[in-house]
Chains A and B, each alone.
Chain A
Amino acid sequence: MDFLSGLFSFIYQTGDAFAFLVLSACGLAVIFGMMGIINLAHGEFILCGAYVSASAARMGLPLPFAILLGAVVAGLVGMLLERAIIRHLYNRPLDSIVVTWGISMIATQGTLIILGSTMPGTGTPFGSFAVGAYSYSIYRLVLMAAAVATLAVLWLIFTRTRFGILARATIQVPHIAEALGVNTPMIYSLTFGLGAALAGLAGGLYAPTMTLVPTMGAAFVVEAFVTVVVGGADIFLGTAPAAAILAVVKAGLTSWQGQLAGQIGLLVAVIIVIRILPRGLTGFILRERA
């Protein structure tokens, strides 16, 4: 019984870490995989989703709708920024990354000035259940389900919808897609919006479990960065398996040495992995198939 409850605890923690890595990374991965840009304002889109959904929930909107609202608002803000600023820098990918950092500084400090140093949140819903000696939050199981559902929906979007097919065509050979009549600026704009919306979704989903402060995005970005670095450019062949592997590393180290060891271990693991697999798991898997 002791062994079983220990095993359950490890699986639960791994699932929790997996959900966190997938949800925090997929928005970043969509934008990077499609456009080759690392969005350093990723944490601020998460912040935007969290703040919007928390305020909506406190105004009485049911939580699932509040979370979706957070995602939609973050997505719209993302599209707006893409139109206004990032669009002008597509031929200078490294500069576009630096610009997103500038946006991130403005957003974090701007939030602090306008909304103050903290914001009242909503409590974590659903209560908890117990297995063996430990009790577990039910909401964390919802997050795991949400992570899997997000991956499934993304897969459907990119393989089954017209937008997905046009987006993949645009990514593969932009000028041919344009010649065939695809509105590529629109596709870029929508893709950036989708990435921002996914970040907002992560913010909305995790808002009930965290303290809402203007720098909360920073709690996500390291995990998101390392997952994308290990994963490489493809979200399904890269990000998802990378999140699974890193989740085991993180859960193992966390239960052995604590939260911080999990994070440091994650980073060290990543630095070693890129020495061996410079193009991430995506490159590894694609080479195996080729």
Chain B
Amino acid sequence: MSSRNSIISTFRLLEGPQTLGKGPGFWSAFAVVLILACIYPMFADGYDVGNNVYFFNWTFMALGLSLIWGYGGALSFGQTAFFGVAGYAYGVLTINLGDAYGLTFFSLLAAVGISALFAAVLGYFLFFGRISGVFLGIVTLSVTLVLERFMSQTAGPEWAIGSARLNGFNGMGGMPSLTIPWPGGDIVLYPDVTLYYMTLALLVIAYLALRMLVNSRMGNVLVAIRENPQRAEMLGYDIRRYQLGAFVIGSGLAGLSGVLYTAWGNYITPSSMGMSAAALPVVWVAVGGRSDLTTTLFGTLLVLAGFQYLTIYGSQYALVMMGFLLVVTILLAPSGIFITVGSLFSKGLRRRLARERA
């Protein structure tokens, strides 16, 4: 009986003070969007479906950054470090282990674990050193830039782990895609409909789990820390542990993005950890509205689609536009476009906006 109650109270956390959207209206809209996302592959060609998987791949990193930055108030500018570490780890593991017996999924879990472990070690020094917001940003950014430079010089044959050559600046390729062991022939998840459904399922799980997390005790404490660290500490919370926890979870999600991206394109390069790569997640999350998971998710998909459109039709101007978008968003709509535009129509959002501006 009590276990059933605890399950119900866990699911109650799907809506709460830290997430926008509640009640039948929101969940009906959620169901409609989910159904549309599920039937979408029937109306689109294979290329577009694979391309959507590419968009989905990045949203995990964005949701993680929303947790760390939007909810926890800690500026982490180096999420791409965990993306890259996990991507390379997946490559090294799968090239050595092969794709039989579901070992690619073992590699996925191991790679995400490695990036989370890396985040835990780095985060221990950062949060337990009690460094302030600004420094956190530039140390994490330095980490990703140094990792980029390190991986760029691993071109020589001496840079190999097992049979996996790191290949320096040109990047590492040739790792197998995710493969489901199946009687009568393994199912290889090429960027196509099956991979689309798997990534979509992962995304829905991550989104709902994060909703429960931020409405739980931990999420509320994180928001309290963002609003006023001293006050949270005086109330008896060890803010270092909560921030470290959020950092590890968020970085694990960045790692998941890295693995999915590497498995999607069978390719990872050092420039995925470089300066402009590191800036993009900040743009996605800031533009959509970092302090909410739903706005972050839609903002990320919107900006990604816009970025790709620009890259196709005016390739070199895409990054300039991203920078411009970031500057304009911070100046005019610091809570993100969705909340700012929505507050024109909704009283609740107006109150929220006023609270955030205060």
Decide: B137 and A97 in contact? CB cutoff 8 A.
yes
- What is the distance, in angstroms, from B174's C-beta to the closest C-beta of chain A? 25
Total cross-chain contacts (CB, 8 A)? 128
Decide: A99 and B327 in contact? CB cutoff 8 A.
yes
Query: What CA separation (Å) do A236 and B168 show in the bound complex?
Result: 39
Taken residue by residue from 261 to 290, chain A's Cβ proximity to chain B (1 for < 8 Å, 0 otherwise) reads as: 001100100111011101000000000000
Whether A128 sits at the interface, judged by CB under 8 Å, is: no
Query: What CA separation (Å) do A92 and B333 show in the bound complex?
Result: 13
Whether A108 sits at the interface, judged by CB under 8 Å, is: yes
- What is the distance, in angstroms, from B6's C-beta to the closest C-beta of chain A? 37
CB-CB under 8 A for A278 and B327, given A95-B334, A109-B320, A221-B145: no
Whether A167 sits at the interface, judged by CB under 8 Å, is: no
CB-CB under 8 A for A102 and B326, given A222-B142, A271-B122, A274-B135: yes
Decide: A112 and B316 in contact? CB cutoff 8 A.
yes
Chain A residues contacting B276 (CB-CB under 8 Å) are 105, 108-109
Query: What CA separation (Å) do A109 and B325 show in the bound complex?
Result: 14
Decide: A267 and B149 in contact? CB cutoff 8 A.
no
Decide: A263 and B149 in contact? CB cutoff 8 A.
yes
- What is the distance, in angstroms, from B353's C-beta to the closest C-beta of chain A? 14
Whether A185 sits at the interface, judged by CB under 8 Å, is: no
Q: Which of B129-166 contact A (CB under 8 A)?
A: 129-135, 137-139, 141-143, 145-146, 149-150, 153
- What is the distance, in angstroms, from A82's C-beta to the closest C-beta of chain B? 14
Whether A260 sits at the interface, judged by CB under 8 Å, is: yes
- What is the distance, in angstroms, from A139's C-beta to the closest C-beta of chain B? 24
Residue of B nearest to A92 (CB): B334
Assign chain A's interface to a size class.
Answer: 35 or more
Chain A residues contacting B133 (CB-CB under 8 Å) are 94
Main secondary structure of the interface of B (DSSP, over half): helix
Residue of B nearest to A88 (CB): B331
- What is the distance, in angstroms, from A256's C-beta to the closest C-beta of chain B? 17
Whether A106 sits at the interface, judged by CB under 8 Å, is: yes
Chain B residues contacting A215 (CB-CB under 8 Å) are 275
Q: Which of A212-235 contact B (CB under 8 A)?
A: 215, 218, 221-222, 225-226, 228-229
Whether A85 sits at the interface, judged by CB under 8 Å, is: yes
Residue of B nearest to A274 (CB): B129
Query: What CA separation (Å) do A191 and B69 show in the bound complex?
Result: 29
Decide: A105 and B320 in contact? CB cutoff 8 A.
yes
Chain A residues contacting B135 (CB-CB under 8 Å) are 229, 274
CB-CB under 8 A for A106 and B125, given A229-B139, A267-B143, A274-B135: no
Whether A164 sits at the interface, judged by CB under 8 Å, is: no
Decide: A38 and B331 in contact? CB cutoff 8 A.
no
Decide: B330 and A38 in contact? CB cutoff 8 A.
no
Query: What CA separation (Å) do A272 and B128 show in the bound complex?
Result: 11
Q: Which of A86-144 contact B (CB under 8 A)?
A: 88-89, 92-95, 97-99, 101-110, 112-113
Whether B293 sits at the interface, judged by CB under 8 Å, is: no
- What is the distance, in angstroms, from B138's C-beta to the closest C-beta of chain A? 4
Decide: B323 and A267 in contact? CB cutoff 8 A.
no
Decide: B327 and A85 in contact? CB cutoff 8 A.
yes
Decide: B142 and A225 in contact? CB cutoff 8 A.
yes
| Contact among B131, B142, B320, B330 with A98 in the assembled complex (CB-CB below 8 Å) | B330
Whether B319 sits at the interface, judged by CB under 8 Å, is: yes
Whether A36 sits at the interface, judged by CB under 8 Å, is: yes
Additional A-B contacts beyond A101-B279, A112-B316, A271-B122 (8; CB < 8 A): A37-B134, A98-B282, A98-B330, A101-B326, A104-B279, A105-B322, A106-B320, A222-B142
Q: Which 4 A-B pairs have the closest CB atoms?
A: A105-B323, A102-B326, A106-B323, A102-B327
**25 A/B residue pairs, CB under 8 Å, sorted by A:** A37-B134, A38-B134, A40-B141, A94-B134, A98-B75, A101-B77, A101-B279, A104-B323, A106-B324, A106-B327, A109-B316, A109-B317, A218-B274, A221-B142, A222-B142, A225-B141, A260-B149, A260-B150, A264-B146, A270-B142, A274-B129, A274-B131, A274-B135, A274-B139, A275-B128
- Residues of A participating in the B interface, judged by any CB pair closer than 8 Å: 32, 36-38, 40, 85, 88-89, 92-95, 97-99, 101-110, 112-113, 215, 218, 221-222, 225-226, 228-229, 260, 263-264, 267, 270-272, 274-276, 278
